Amino acid sequence: MTPSVTEVMRGCAAALTQPPSPDAGPDFFASRVGMISMLANLAAQEAEHAAAAAVAENADIRALFAQAAAHDVALGGRLARAAQGVDTDLTLTALDAANARLRRLLIALHERVEDAGDAALDRAILALYVRMAAGRRLQLGG
Amino acid sequence: MSGSLSERLAAYLSRTWGEPVQVADLARISGGASRETYRFDAVLASGRRPLILRRDPPGSLIETDRRCEFLALKSFHGKGVAAPEPLILELEGAELERPFFVMVRVDGGAAGSPFQPDAYAPHAAKLGEDFFGTLGRIAAADPLALPISDVFEAPALGDCWRRELDYWSGVIEADELHPQPIVRAAIRRLRRHPPPPAQKLAVVHGDYRTGNFLHDGQGAVLAILDWEMAHLGDPLEDLGWALDPLWRDVVSGKVSGMLTREEAISVWERASGLKVDPAAFAWWELFASVKGQAIWTSSAKEYRDGGYMEPILGFSGWLTARRHDEILAAKLAEMGP
């Protein structure tokens, strides 16, 4: 997982309060402050969207598990149970923990789908990856 | 050891060069996330020498061997590649407490940001000829005749891909703090469909891209920088990295903000005397995005662990990691099962 909003904001605060090194030139400081400014802008985007993105991604993975459960005898039970899950705790910590569990199972499923040569399900997983990545998009100056 | 960095550096240089040296105008500059970089002048009886100090930081984005960076510069300085002249390599740290090296400073150049739209206009095309031509000349060199071969064993041509993939997938395995299904799918695909053996062994710069060189604002490369990931391998590796969509100008669509993809490949082929096999290159292009994601994964781990919280690590572990997930997902979907 990329750093969380909390970690980034704490990192920015730490960077801003760090005493300046006597050897750091003005160009270095200007560059560093510019980087902190970009991080703060990204954090603003993430604060607005992170929970919604995590909920949407988790739901998307669960929907795919529901579809895949019938295909995979070995993983079918785990997939079906995971597909029934619902995010009730909407803190980012809880959502990320649920997301980690779902992603681990998704990796295991994709490996089995590739080994089985199930092209249709493989394509569905690849399409899911595109949606997952798009859902987490950050933009400079956004 | 007590004293300012300037004083300690002056003491080291005086001892090493056997004559009194003063250090003037020492200032830290932005020079990548893997080394602390300082500009300074060494003042000797014979005059001032404009120099750069590259010192290991307490933590680093990537684990690299400064000896390899030093020898890479030595390999190409004065040989048709704008590599700054390396002067001193100090592996023990001595007065500066951490390993470092000193090289000649190239003044008067500008470095374009990979995230700045149209960074090289209006000389982008001319600069692209020089940038990709230089990369072609690096690829054409015989690595076994160069100093850098002192630190690397030559891999078999058929093993170049495996060695790099093993290394970078190992980085992801070691540093991943949250499961990453997209890059893992890409790694499996790379293993299932290996490329043909490298057409020749080459020095691979390892981070040849927008932002890692200085230009004169008129279309000429003044200095190729940041050789810390240099190694021996398949020459297509560098070309794949330079053409990665992460460095593509979002406004012009030009690779590295300079040329079309076809133009860049054509310039590289002319300068290197090599050919870009589309199937092999597709492998190296996908690998480039995996390698990028591995670097950002390490960066995020370093930042999240709180050991080295430079803002650049947060940035690369965040925005660039998300962007590479998008790039990888798009490539995988296009390739299909």
Stronger pLDDT, B290 or A27, i.e. the higher one: B290
Q: Look at A25 and B27 and tell me if their CB atoms are within 8 Å.
A: yes
Task: Show Cβ contacts of residue B10 under 8 Å, excluding neighbours closer than 6 positions.
Answer: B21, B22, B23
Q: Look at A11 and B303 and tell me if their CB atoms are within 8 Å.
A: yes
The count of domains in chain A is 1
Instruction: Write the pLDDT tens digit of every residue in B216-261.
Output: 999 999 999 999 999 999 999 999 999 999 988 766 778 888 999 9
Q: Do B150 and B201 belong to one domain?
A: yes
Mean pLDDT over B304-332 rounds to: 86
CATH of the domain at B324: 3.90.1200.10
Q: Do B290 and B154 belong to one domain?
A: yes
Measure the CA–CA gap between B291 and B279, rounded to whole angstroms: 19
Confidence grade of residue B308 (pLDDT, cut at 50, 70, 90):
low
Instruction: Write the pLDDT tens digit of every residue in B128-172.
Output: 999 999 999 999 999 999 999 999 989 999 999 999 999 999 999
Closest approach of B54 to chain A, Cα-based (Å):
13
Q: Do B84 and B214 belong to one domain?
A: no
Q: Do B189 and B248 belong to one domain?
A: yes
* Domain of residue B14, residue span: 5-104
Q: Is B115 a domain residue?
A: no
Closest approach of B154 to chain A, Cα-based (Å):
33
Q: Look at A27 and B315 and tell me if their CB atoms are within 8 Å.
A: no
How big is chain A by its Cα radius of gyration, in Å? 20
Q: Is B237 a domain residue?
A: yes
Q: Is A15 a domain residue?
A: yes
Q: Is A141 a domain residue?
A: no
Closest approach of B332 to chain A, Cα-based (Å):
7
Q: Is the CB of residue A67 less than 8 Å from the CB of residue A80?
A: no
- Of all residues in chain A, the one with the smallest CA distance to B323 is A137
The count of domains in chain B is 2
Which residues of chain B does A15 touch, with a Cβ-Cβ cutoff of 8 Å? 309-311
Instruction: Write the pLDDT tens digit of every residue in B195-219.
Output: 999 999 999 999 999 889 999 999 9
CB atoms within 10 A of CB B58: 8
Residue pairs between chains A and B whose CB atoms are closer than 8 Å: 141
* Domain of residue A57, residue span: 5-135
Per-residue pLDDT of chain A (142 residues; tens, 9 = 90+): 678 888 888 888 888 887 767 777 777 888 888 889 989 999 999 999 999 999 999 999 999 999 999 887 788 899 999 999 999 999 999 999 999 999 999 999 999 999 999 999 999 999 999 999 999 998 886 5
Q: Look at A2 and B328 and tell me if their CB atoms are within 8 Å.
A: no
Phi-psi sector, A39: left (phi>0), alpha (psi -120 to 50), beta: alpha
> What would the DSSP string read from start to end of B100-140?
EEEEE---S-B---TTSTTTTTTSHHHHHHHHHHHHHHHHH
Final residue of a domain: which of B43, B72, B104? B104
Secondary structure of residue A117 in the 3-state scheme: coil
In this complex, the residue of A35, A106, A114 whose CB is nearest that of residue B312 is A35
In this complex, the residue of A21, A25, A39 whose CB is nearest that of residue B311 is A39
Q: Look at A3 and B303 and tell me if their CB atoms are within 8 Å.
A: yes
Of the candidates B54, B71, B236, B65, the residue with the CA atom closest to the CA atom of residue B148: B71
Measure the CA–CA gap between B235 and B216, rounded to whole angstroms: 27
Testing the interface with B: which of A129, A132, A140 to mutate, by most B Cβ within 10 A? A129
Say which residue the tokens 């390899």 belong to.
B68
φ, ψ of residue B199 to 5 degrees: the values are -70, -20
In this complex, the residue of B28, B178, B188 whose CB is nearest that of residue A28 is B28
Final residue of a domain: which of B69, B104, B139? B104
Q: Do B70 and B131 belong to one domain?
A: no
CB-count exposure of residue B150 (10 Å: 0-12, 13-18, 19+):
exposed
Q: Do B67 and B182 belong to one domain?
A: no
Q: Is A68 a domain residue?
A: yes
Q: Is B117 a domain residue?
A: no
Q: Do B87 and B51 belong to one domain?
A: yes
Residues in a beta bridge with B22: B43
Measure the CA–CA gap between A96 and B249, rounded to whole angstroms: 32
Measure the CA–CA gap between B112 and B214, rounded to whole angstroms: 8
Q: Is the CB of residue B178 less than 8 Å from the CB of residue B73?
A: no
Is the pLDDT at B61 greater than 50? The verdict is no
Q: Look at B317 and A3 and tell me if their CB atoms are within 8 Å.
A: yes
